[in-house]
């Protein structure tokens, strides 16, 4: 579990602001749900025979013996919340959330035990139109963040019935190759062979090349849904690849599934994943209602932003140097006035006194472009001295307090 340190915070904020604004443009409302839920909620929703439920959840007993778990993902809790609060069964409901999730996985690059997801869920919309719109919305987030080179993989998982036949044939195929499976996959062979398609083991993946394909088991309705989805993606100008082996790590998906993948983060390259889960509301005890959603991994996106995006930085524009009697109070009040007068201007005032020399050193280290100098001379003259810290040719100059806000505004916008 990692700390998010101050030097990365502007990227987290940029990600969350972009998401908030983009999702609002598509009519989504935010929901906040608890970090802890009853264990059985996740077991039922995610599937008992999944890695997440079998070995990754942080589960504990409450004082009265209830089994509780830290949430490993957001969808199960959102479904519980919309059912419990009577939000379903009206017009389609578009929701989004952001927050920390917990899975006791083997920590590695791009995989931590506490991580953060931004997710969206839509209820009450059965058609492929919303599937495609969700992906257009993702694409708009990538654009807003300045990210490029994300590949979209899509597949259809059909319905539970269609998967039953497929599962039988897949099991027969894999059982014939049992000795070449790893322990995990052998374990899953009886209980949940579809999960083997999601194996991260390259040897197991190689074995799957000739395995039966789920797409051959889909009936006309599932095919029509998938075709309608792909057609809309094309109309939106979204590039995609059909990956017939794409399944999702959680059990509740049906029809459309998708992942956005980058080649720039190594093995943990999936930054967003999701799909349709038409059966989930019923599994949770509600009247059936179709659903679809996705979750973006914030840590992975922030890493990618570091590699690709322009830094929207927290570096100050101006460092305020104050030395001499009366200058600190005058300087801090001045800084307040300037922040109010010049939108977007970042001023860092010197803390803890120090000589001019010591303060200029700090100004330099702060990365600021300008030092605003307030000494006793300046106070007497009703002015400040401006020194250019990054431009050796620019002369220092004195600017009167009256004209300072306008001067800074011009400087900032040029």
- To the nearest whole angstrom, how small is the minimum distance from the Cβ of residue 157 to ligand ATP? 14
**Smallest distance from the beta carbon of 352 to Mg ion, in angstroms?**
47
Question: What's the distance, CA 259 to chain centroid?
Answer: 13
Considering only residues 97-116, where is the footprint of ligand ATP by CB under 6 A? Answer: 103, 105, 110-112, 115
Question: Binding residue for ligand ATP (CB under 6 A) from 69, 139, 270, 350?
Answer: 270
| One of 124, 212, 293, 297 touching ligand ATP (CB under 6 A) | 297
Q: What is the dihedral of CA 30, 33, 39, 44, to 10 degrees?
A: -30
The interface partner of residue 115, options being Mg ion, ligand ATP, none and the CB cut-off 5 to 8 Å by kind, is ligand ATP
User: Residue 117 touches which of Mg ion, ligand ATP, none (CB < 5 to 8 A by kind)?
Assistant: ligand ATP
CB of 320 to ligand ATP, least distance (A): 40
280 binds ligand ATP (CB under 6 A): no
3-state secondary structure the chain: CCCCCHHHHHHHHHHHHHHHHHHHHCCCEECCCCCEEEHHHHHHHHCCCCHHHHHHCCEEECCCCCEEEECCCCHHHHHHHHHHCCCCCCCCEEEEEEEEEECCCCCECCECCEEEEEEEEEECCCCHHHHHHHHHHHHHHHHHHCCCCCEEEEEECCCHHHHHHHHHHHHHHHHCCHHHCCHHHHHHHHHCHHHHHHCCCHHHHHHHHHCCCHHHHCCHHHHHHHHHHHHHHHHCCCCCEECCCCCCCCCCCEEEEEEEECCCCCCCCEEEEEEECCCHHHHCCCCCCCEEEEEEEHHHHHHHHHHHCCCCCCCCCEEEEECCCCHHHHHHHHHHHHHHHCCCCCEEECCCCCCHHHHHHHHHHHCCCEEEEECHHHHHHCEEEEEECCCCCCCCEEEEHHHHHHHHHHHHCC
Nearer to ligand ATP, 171 or 248 (CB): 248
Q: Does 276 bind ligand ATP (CB under 6 A)?
A: no
Q: Is 152 in the site for ligand ATP (CB under 6 A)?
A: no
Pick one of ligand ATP, Mg ion, none as the site partner of residue 71 (Cβ within 5 to 8 A by kind). none
In what side-by-side order are the strands of the sheet with 151-156?
Answer: 29-30, 93-102, 114-123, 291-297, 270-276, 254-261, 151-156, 241-242
Map the footprint of Mg ion across residues 229-288, applying CB under 5 A. 249
In angstroms, what is the minimal distance from the CB of 188 to Mg ion? Answer: 14
Which of 318, 412, 413 minimizes the C-alpha distance to 374?
Answer: 318
Q: Does 177 bind ligand ATP (CB under 6 A)?
A: no
d(CA 283, CA 169): 26
Question: Least CB distance from residue 158 to ligand ATP, whole Å?
Answer: 19
Please report how close the Cβ of residue 275 comes to ligand ATP at its closest, in angstroms.
9
Q: Residue 195 binds which entry of Mg ion, ligand ATP, none, with Cβ cut-offs from 5 to 8 Å by kind?
A: none
Task: Select 79 or 335, whichever has its Cβ closest to ligand ATP.
Answer: 79
Least distance to Mg ion, CB of residue 176, Å: 28
Residue 245 makes contact with ligand ATP by CB under 6 A: no
Cβ-closest residue to Mg ion?
A: 249
Residue 133 binds which of ligand ATP, Mg ion, none (CB < 5-8 A, kind-dependent) = none
Size of the site for ligand ATP (CB under 6 A): 19
- Partner whose binding site includes residue 270, from ligand ATP, Mg ion, none (CB under 5 to 8 Å by kind): ligand ATP
Binding residues among 153-182 for Mg ion as defined by CB under 5 A:
none
Verify binding: residue 264, ligand ATP, rule CB under 6 A. Answer: no
Span from 9-17, 26-34, 136-144, 264-272 in contact with ligand ATP (CB under 6 A): 264-272
299: contact with ligand ATP by CB under 6 A: yes
Interface ranges with Mg ion (CB under 5 A):
249
Interface ranges with ligand ATP (CB under 6 A):
73, 103, 105, 110-112, 115, 117, 248-249, 268, 270-273, 295, 297, 299-300
């Amino acid at each position: 579990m990692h700390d998010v340190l101050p030097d990365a915070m502007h990227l987290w904020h940029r990600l969350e602001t972009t998401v908030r604004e983009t999702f609002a443009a598509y009519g989504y409302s935010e929901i906040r749900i608890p970090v802890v839920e009853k264990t059985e909620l996740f077991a039922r929703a995610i599937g008992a025979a999944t890695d997440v439920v079998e070995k990754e959840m942080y589960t504990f007993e409450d004082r009265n013996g209830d089994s509780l778990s830290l949430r490993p993902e957001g969808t199960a809790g959102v479904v519980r919340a919309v059912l419990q609060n009577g939000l379903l069964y009206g017009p389609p409901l578009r929701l989004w959330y952001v927050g920390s999730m917990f899975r006791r996985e083997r920590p590695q690059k791009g995989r931590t035990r506490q991580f953060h997801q931004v997710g969206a869920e839509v209820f009450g919309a059965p058609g492929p139109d919303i599937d495609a719109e969700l992906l257009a919305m993702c694409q708009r987030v990538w654009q807003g963040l300045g990210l490029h080179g994300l590949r979209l993989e899509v597949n259809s998982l059909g319905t539970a019935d269609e998967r039953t036949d497929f599962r039988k044939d897949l099991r027969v195929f894999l059982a014939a190759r049992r000795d070449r499976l790893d322990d995990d996959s052998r374990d899953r062979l009886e209980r949940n062979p579809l999960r083997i398609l999601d194996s991260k083991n390259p040897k197991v993946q190689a074995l799957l090349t000739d395995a039966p394909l789920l797409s051959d088991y889909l009936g006309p309705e599932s095919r029509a849904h998938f075709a309608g989805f792909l057609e809309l993606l094309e109309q939106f100008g979204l590039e995609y690849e059909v990956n017939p082996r794409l399944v999702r790590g959680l059990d509740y998906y049906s029809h459309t599934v998708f992942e956005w993948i980058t080649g720039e983060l190594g093995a943990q390259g999936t930054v967003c994943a999701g799909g349709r889960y038409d059966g989930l509301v019923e599994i949770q005890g509600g009247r059936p209602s179709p659903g679809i959603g996705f979750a973006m991994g914030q840590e992975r996106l922030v890493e990618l932003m570091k590699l690709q995006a322009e830094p929207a930085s927290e570096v100050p524009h101006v460092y305020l140097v104050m030395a001499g009697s009366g200058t600190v109070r005058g300087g801090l009040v001045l800084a307040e006035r300037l922040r109010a007068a010049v939108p977007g201007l970042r001023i860092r005032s010197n803390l803890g006194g120090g000589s001019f020399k010591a303060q200029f050193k700090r100004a330099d280290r702060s990365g600021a472009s300008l030092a605003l100098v307030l000494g006793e001379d300046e106070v007497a003259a009703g002015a400040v001295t401006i020194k250019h810290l990054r431009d050796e040719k620019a002369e220092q100059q004195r600017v009167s307090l009256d004209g300072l806000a306008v001067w800074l505004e011009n400087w900032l916008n040029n």
